[in-house]
Chains A and B, each alone.
Chain A
Amino acid sequence: MDAIILQILNGLDKGSAYALIALGLTLIFGTLGVVNFAHGALFMIGAFCAVTLSKLFNLSFETLDPTKKDFLGNPLKVKTPYVQEWFGPDVGAWLIDWSVPLAILFSIPIMVAIGFVMERGLIKHFYKRPHADQILVTFGLAIVLQEIIKSNFGANPVPTPAPEVFRGSFDFGVLLGFDPNVIIYPYWRMVYFAFAAVIIGGVFAFLQFTTFGMVVRAGMADRATVGLLGINIDKRFTIMFGLAAAVAGLAGVMYAPINSPNYHMGMDFLVLSFVVVVVGGMGSLPGAVAAGFLLGILESFASMNEVKSVIPGIDQIIIYLVAIVILLARPRGLMGRKGVMED
């Protein structure tokens, strides 16, 4: 029982990461109809926003400590972060400790700007081009972004811990009447889940309770006609792109403490996020979110020993297997709209 509850928690947690990434992707892919292979890169850049902020806070000046030696036998250079010098050691340490949550604020303008530039400078010219061309150009862009990050941060993962207070884990089981220490779950992962819920809710609200979503949907189906109705669809597409980039970036920022960011994390998530979006159904935000959680939970269950011992290797393929089954059972995934990317 406890094992199952733990895996449900894991599934929800994984699912929220999948759902968040898929949400951003579906805004561009399912709604604007652009096959965006650079979406993973946006996620990755989000994570590196957290890295960058933490590096900025850690920018240090060096003083020599003659009592210690560095690896070449010279006096050791001791580093003191500027923020500690400027704001005092406590505030400085707090800033450094809280750099990931602070990066949320830091990343939003950056990601929105990246989204705008990307749409205006590049994607705009590709709305009417075949999907294959979109794939090629965004894949090229993804590689370029990735390589830029690599040449600045290296290929190795960069540890980016959560604030001290979120580092422990929470005894969840006690709440449910289990013995202590049976069902514990890391705080930060719970934060991630809550954060994902807020973002997903926010995006839904924005698209449901405003006409924005309807206009963009209409614009994707028939740009020309929407223009005839006096609507500047280009502007809205750009905003949509900025929004999607921000969602991807925020998903990345918050993910940084879960797994140390590295330059190819975007590619690792890319295929998966496409699968999630398509299983959810093209053009459906609820579908993408639902598929994210569904696949997250199934993946968690498939990795249980009890399951693996029955079907060896099931955890390797579960996502794809489920994707195949769902797409065969339902022509347009869980909640796909007719006519979106079916040709």
Chain B
Amino acid sequence: MNVKPDFSKGHNLAETAPAFLSVWNMEAYYGESYIVQNISFNVHEGEILALLGRNGAGKTSTLRSIARMDNPQVTKGEIWLDHQPLHKMKSYEAAQAGIGLVPEDRSIIPGLTVEENLQLAQIAPPVGWSLDRLYDLFPRLGERRKQEGVTLSGGEQQMLAIARALARDIKVLLLDEPYEGLAPVIVDEIEKTLRIIKEQGITTILVEQNAVRALELADRSVILDTGSVVFDGSAKEVLSNAELRAEYLAI
């Protein structure tokens, strides 16, 4: 197992952070319930990190905390992205700093067409891929550009959500179960896309139930259980460690 990241150098993570994105001693609550329980991990620039764990382990909550959403509320800890203190930001500031989240429920905005959903992502700087380029990647969205986003089929919505994240110039892509509800062929497509994204130098955190698939793609993996990190190491290590797989991933 990998050595836990060393934070002993003190508070000034801006200078000392060993990684591109650092989460340090983060705690978060939904109202009174303590969900994210003192989590620390690092992500290096350009890598894909698979964040795994059972239902309710706190994966979504961790991603939402990093994206600085109102819920859950982070009460303690620090989050640094490329020397910027995310933990001091609101969600829109974090987004401008380079965080892009694809939420698990996709959060397509009702009342807006496919195209408007994408345009919306390009209002605030920094802007990423052009609409044309996105439609090239997802031709299906190009065909449906005038349709109201929420009437898309489940899989189409997933494509839209990913496209929307790419429409912004992001440094870190947070993907919450991107394969869910997608036809196997499309999953292959998306996986290819993720590799393309990786080639562009974008860092990715991938949450996925299909652990094997995720681990095959990922460089490293963090496993959560009831709100705490139980493993932090290379993806291969998980694949080869049957005990770990059985206990936390049921595979």
- A residues lining the B interface (CB < 8 Å): 211, 214-215, 217-218, 221-222, 224-233, 283, 337-340
Total chain B interface residues with beta-carbon distance under 8 A: 25
Which residues of B line the A interface, CB within 8 A? 67, 69-70, 90-92, 95-96, 100-101, 103, 107, 109-112, 116, 119-121, 123-125, 164, 168
Q: Is the CB of A222 within 8 A of B120?
A: no
Residue among A211, A227, A230, A232 making CB contact with B168, cutoff 8 Å: A230
Chain B hits for A229, CB < 8 A: 92, 95, 120-121, 123-124, 164, 168
Q: List 5 A-B contacts (CB under 8 A).
A: A221-B112, A224-B69, A226-B120, A227-B95, A232-B124
Whether A215 and B123, one on each chain, are in contact in the complex, defined by CB atoms closer than 8 angstroms, is: yes
A227 adjacent to B91 (CB under 8 Å): yes
Known: A218-B109, A221-B110. 13 other contacts (CB 8 A): A211-B123, A214-B119, A218-B112, A222-B109, A226-B92, A226-B120, A227-B90, A229-B120, A230-B95, A230-B121, A230-B123, A230-B168, A283-B111
B145 to chain A, nearest CB (A): 15
Cross-chain contact of B125 among A211, A225, A230, A283 (Cβ < 8 A):
A230
Select which of A227, A232, A233, A340 is within 8 A of B69 by beta carbon: A227
Q: Is the CB of A232 within 8 A of B92?
A: yes
B162 to chain A, nearest CB (A): 13
Chain A residues near B101 (CB, 8 Å)?
A: 228
The reply to whether B112 and A233 contact each other, CB–CB distance below 8 Å, is no
Given contacts A224-B70, A224-B91, A225-B103, contact A231 B123 (CB under 8 A): yes
Complex: A338 Cα to B107 Cα, angstroms? 17
State whether A214 and B91 are in contact (beta carbons under 8 Å apart), knowing that A229-B121, A231-B124 are contacts in the complex. Answer: no
Contacts of A224 in B (CB 8 A): 69-70, 91, 107
Q: Please state if A214 and B164 are interface contacts (CB–CB under 8 Å).
A: no
A225–B157 alpha-carbon span in the complex (Å):
14
The smallest C-beta distance from A45 to any residue of chain B, in angstroms, reads 32
In the assembled complex, which residues on chain B have CB atoms less than 8 Å from the CB atom of A338?
A: 110-111
The docked-state distance in angstroms from the alpha carbon of A233 to that of B92 is 8
Instruction: State the Cβ distance, A263 to closest chain B Cβ, in Å.
Output: 38
- Which residues does chain B contribute within 8 Å of A225, judged by CB atoms? 103, 107, 109
Q: Is the CB of B95 within 8 A of A214?
A: no
Q: Which residue of A is nearest B100, CB measured? A: A228
Question: Which of chain A's residues have a CB closer than 8 A to the CB of B116?
Answer: 214, 218
Known pairs A222-B107, A230-B168; A215 contacts B120 (CB<8 A): yes
Q: 6 nearest interchain CB pairs?
A: A230-B124, A230-B95, A227-B91, A225-B107, A230-B96, A227-B92
Q: Please report the C-alpha to C-alpha distance between residue A140 and residue B133 in the assembled complex, in whole angstroms.
A: 52
Residues of A within 8 A of B124 (CB): 229-232
* Identity of the chain A residue whose Cβ is nearest the Cβ of B169 in the assembled complex: A230
Q: Report the Cα distance A222→B164, complex, angstroms.
A: 15
Chain B residues near A283: list those with CB within 8 A.
111
Q: A227-B90, A229-B95, A230-B92 are in contact. Are A339 and B110 (CB under 8 A)?
A: yes
List residues of chain B with CB within 8 A of the CB of A231: 92, 95, 120, 123-124
Chain B CB within 10 A, most for which of A215, A222, A226, A283: A226
A281 to B69 CA separation, bound complex (whole angstroms): 32
Complex: how many Å from CA A232 to CA B92?
Answer: 6
Please determine whether B69 and A228 come into contact, CB atoms closer than 8 angstroms.
yes
Report the Cα distance A340→B111, complex, angstroms: 10
